[in-house]
Structure 1
Amino acid sequence: MTFDLNRYTQTLARLVAQPSVSCALPQWDTSNKAVIDQLAEDFAALGFQTEIIAVPEHPGKYNLLATLGRGEGGLVFAGHSDTVPYDADQWSSDPFTLTEREGRLYGLGATDMKGFFPAVIEAVRDIDPARLRAPIVVLATADEESSMSGARALLDTGIAPGHYAVVGEPTGMRPINMHKGILMESIRVLGKSGHSSNPALGNSALEAMHEVTSELIKYRGELQQRFHNPGFAVAVPTLNLGCIHGGDGANRICGECELHFDLRSVPDMHNDELRHEINRRLVPIAERRKIDIVFSTLFEGVDPLLQPRDSELIRACEKLTGATAEAVGFATEAPFYRQLDMQAVVMGPGSIDQAHQPDEFIAIEQLAPAIDVLRSLIHHFCISSTATEANHKGTT
């Protein structure tokens, strides 16, 4: 089937024109309300029941839940409404003005991932609600690029919006059934400064941090011995010592030192357990050196994604795309849907290679095939005679 490219472009242009940067730095962070309002208007015009939901404890941040049809289960098209910050002086055109050049649509968020929503709009446009045996749900979230507060708010409700979730991150429409988890942590060692001529005058935070980093490297080796998943390009979990700051002069005992690191986990690993184990290993160092060590979270993190390849959703996506499900190294909101006992796949038009950089674009040639796949998923899970059976199967 075909779609109206001009209509798609106009929809995406309106979304791109509304800044919705999410960032831990307050000078960059903006509300996503204008994007959510625009999506609510677009889906309401197609007959969807829409609900705009404020994200608790995050002023100016909102989720959208739009539903067409009734019944059990249903298919959820999920995506985030925010973007990363941008370097305006490095763009060839205005980041907030959608620009077409050489078969590409350029704009901030065009591929990651505002471009997914107009594709969903085109896919559902000609659907007769009377034919639906299970609902179509669209979920647009806040702050995926920073805190993932929108997805966490959904998880806190404990209510699954459907049985199957298609998270439309840019994968070139290749189904992704696995990705690594991530946590980002801080370790602060609080020692005592003093004159460097006599070590007894202080308690070196840097020397204690040397033990801390050695323990982290040891723990990394143990994890890499225990966990191995050949589906990933880097088959083992990684722990990166990202940055360290400590002391203020060569002739002073270091009074304070701070390390930031990230740990990227593979399926069967859990962030809470990893944090607990790291903290347990820090306690003996603090006690032995009679020093304070403060372990804290920089980013609450995301657990790994694993959706079995024999599940109904992955089988359907592989059949419709002709592509075998793969693993990726980046994290998404999909694990939150898994925690709500939903099946989840990461799959959308565009390329992650274009995300988070100047002159972000989505290739026009990817749009028609993507919209066809989304339509077919709707027919499979929401319209066909097998939809009711599939929605009663539960999740895997």
Structure 2
Amino acid sequence: MSNAFALLEKLIAFPTVSRDGNIDLIRWVQELLSQAGIRSRLLPSESGDRANLFATVGPEGPGGVVLSGHTDVVPVDGQSWTSDAFCLQERDGLFYGRGTADMKGFVACAIEAVLGAVRKPLHIPLHLALSYDEEIGCVGVRPMLEDLAKAGLKPDWVLIGEPTSMSVATGHKGKLAARATCCGHTVHSALAPTGLNALHMAADFLSEIRALQEETQEKGVRDQAFDIPYTTLHAGILKGGTALNIVPDSCVLDFEIRNVAEEDAQSFLEQLLEKATHQERRLKERFPDARIRIDVLNTYPGLETRADSPQVSKARALSGSNAPLKVAFGTEGGLFQQHLGVSVVVCGPGSMDQGHKADEFIARDQMERCRQMLARLVETHIE
């Protein structure tokens, strides 16, 4: 089973939703590689239900490229699919299934390329890196990168196959996700003015987030390569209250900061911390138990690769891409760059416009373009 389309069918059949793990898929890939004589190793999580995989074809040593992809997918809960999300179906040249675009289409092509490369006289290494839990904040790849950095891995570059419609991308924003927990004072709603409503506290803090967003949009650093050229702040979850006749004493607000490279997400967080502290001090004058606690849930760095670098030029030549772009979504690229100190390029089949939706799909011609790109890449590794 070396054909990318057959591989994709098998990969989609593994329901590797982040919450459930990917270990069955990873073990299957390792066995497939082993049958072809390709050395690989698993880096399992502490829970044992998920793992990273790292494999190498060709000689040991520096140089070469890492083909990188994540194997987890987002849930299908609440989505109206017209076919089984975990059973690949082709209709009119489109392959439907959860993860086809994001990003098992590329993973299938990468496995095919590695399997084909084992029979060729490579003079530099070709690596395959498959990760878990990318969809919940690029969490799973980190221990693998720490391990590779300690081992002294020094590839020339890393190709991350997130869906870009086969365009070459050189950057994306960083992200910081945080939670504001507001603690008030509960009373009967008939006596509401004598209590401290935690929902109102969260609403006031949310107003500070929105004000900072407006200021950033007007005066912040701009990078016109992005669809949204400035740093964004966004509140995504607000939870609090148990009954209408109770003034709630607890409320949780989850928010995020997506920063352009020239700005630091931490500086935005510090501004919000200052606002929260001021709000808390004012409330404590009347309600000593008032509190606003902010915890960082997750953070990952942005990606910034020089558009005129040799690696970008190579990726463009291999893919037939025009001028490089930057993508709105995050990837593991910034972490690869941070841990290994190498150039990272994002280029893969399919579009994120189809990702995370019902009836997610990838076009056959996109898969073919990716297969051709990786075949040309392998040829550059031959003596």
Q: Which bracket does the TM-score occupy, shorter chain normalised?
A: 0.7 to 0.9
Task: Show the counterpart of 2:54.
Answer: 65
Counterpart in the other structure of 2:176: 183
Task: Pick from 119, 125, 129 the counterpart of residue 109 of structure 2.
Answer: 119
Deviation at 1:274, TM superposition (A): 3.6
SS where residue 287 of structure 1 aligns?
helix
* 2:131 corresponds to: 141
Structure 1 residues not aligned, in runs of 5+: 23-28, 385-396
- Opposite residue 251 of structure 2, the aligned amino acid is C
Take 1:223 and 1:311, find their aligned partners in 2: how far apart are those partners?
Answer: 30
- Please, which runs of 5 or more residues in structure 2 have no aligned partner? 285-289
RMSD: 2.6
State the Cα distance separating 1:210 from its structure 2 match: 4.3
Confirm or deny: 8 A CA contact 2:68 2:159 kept in the other structure.
yes
Q: Say if 2:254 is the partner of 1:260.
A: yes
Q: In structure 1, how many angstroms separate the alpha carbons of the residues matched to 2:225 and 2:237?
A: 29
In structure 1, C-alpha distance between the alignment counterparts of 2:354 and 2:166, rounded to whole Å: 15
- Aligned with 1:139: secondary structure? strand
Given that residues 20 and 32 in structure 1 are in contact (C-alpha distance below 8 angstroms), is that contact kept between their aligned partners in structure 2? yes
Structure 1 residues 90 and 177: alpha-carbon distance in aligned structure 2, compared to 1, 3 A threshold: same
- The 5 A counterparts of 1:180-259 are 180-194=173-187, 201-224=194-217, 225-247=219-241, 253-259=247-253
Match of 1:375 in 2: 375
How many residue pairs align between the two structures? 371
Aligned to 1:359: 359
Q: 1:90 to 1:249 in 2, by over 3 A?
A: closer
Which residue in the other structure is 1:26 paired with? none
Equivalent in 148, 167, 170 of residue 174 of structure 1 = 167
CA distance 1:196–1:59, shift in 2 (3 Å): same
Match of 1:15 in 2: 11
What residue in structure 1 maps to residue 157 of structure 2?
Answer: 164
CA contact (8 A) 1:88 1:94 kept: no
Instruction: Assess if the C-alpha contact under 8 Å between 2:66 and 2:158 holds in 1.
Output: yes
Distance 1:39 1:196, change over 3 A: closer
**Counterparts of 2:129 and 2:308, CA distance in 1:** 25
Moved more, 87-96 or 341-350: 87-96
Q: Which residue of structure 1 lines up, in the alignment, with residue 294 of structure 2?
A: 295
**CA offsets per residue over residues 365-384 of structure 1, 9 Å max, x none?**
2222212212223344x346
* Residue 392 (structure 1) aligns with: none
**AA partner of residue 40 (structure 1):** Q
Task: Report whether the alignment pairs 1:311 with 2:293.
Answer: no
Give the SS at the match of 1:173: coil
Look up the SS of the partner of 1:149 in the other structure: coil
Question: What does the per-residue CA deviation read over 1:166-224, in whole Å, with 9 as the maximum and x for residues that have no partner?
Answer: 11111111111111222332212111123567677333434443442332233323433
Identity rate, percent = 31
SS of the aligned residue for 2:90 comes to strand
2:96 is the alignment partner of 1:103: no
TM-score by length of 1: 0.84
The answer to whether the 8 Å contact 1:111/1:361 transfers is yes
